[in-house]
Amino acid sequence: MTGDGKIGLQVGNVVRLGAVRKLTSATTEEKPALPASRPMQDVAASASLITLAADIAKQPVPVDHGRVAAIREAIAGGSYRLDPAATARAMLQFHGPGAYA
């Protein structure tokens, strides 16, 4: 291949279409050096946070089983009343006011 050419370069399932340029020592020297890798403190902190998140995810979710049973009984008996305004307020409080815009 001489000079620039248009070819389809495939890596995995991705095809890159566009000009491909032959690299010379002049073109490689123009590029800035890659940034240094992250310091070990950052890697250790990331690993610590990942471990903490995994530990929290393994913990059971607190459930008020008495309240769940009472609500189920009220629904089954037909006495459970919904308050649409209270439901909307709770949704906005949980998700934020811009979530449903």
| 74-87 pLDDT per residue, tens | 999 999 999 999 99
Task: Assess if residue 3 is contained within a domain.
Answer: no
| Residue bearing tokens 């340029």 | 21
Task: Assess if residue 56 is contained within a domain.
Answer: no
pLDDT tens track for 65-75: 999 999 999 99
* Percent of the chain residues past pLDDT 70, beyond the cut: 60
What is the domain extent for residue 87?
Answer: 66-100
pLDDT tens track for 13-39: 666 666 666 666 655 555 666 666 667
The residues, ordered by sequence, that sit 6+ positions from 4 with a Cβ below 8 Å of its Cβ are 19, 20, 21, 22
Is residue 10 within 8 Å of 26, Cβ to Cβ? no
Task: Assess if residue 92 is contained within a domain.
Answer: yes
Mean pLDDT of the chain: 78
Number of folded domains that form the chain: 1
Structure letter (DSSP) for residue 79:
-
Task: Assess if residue 80 is contained within a domain.
Answer: yes
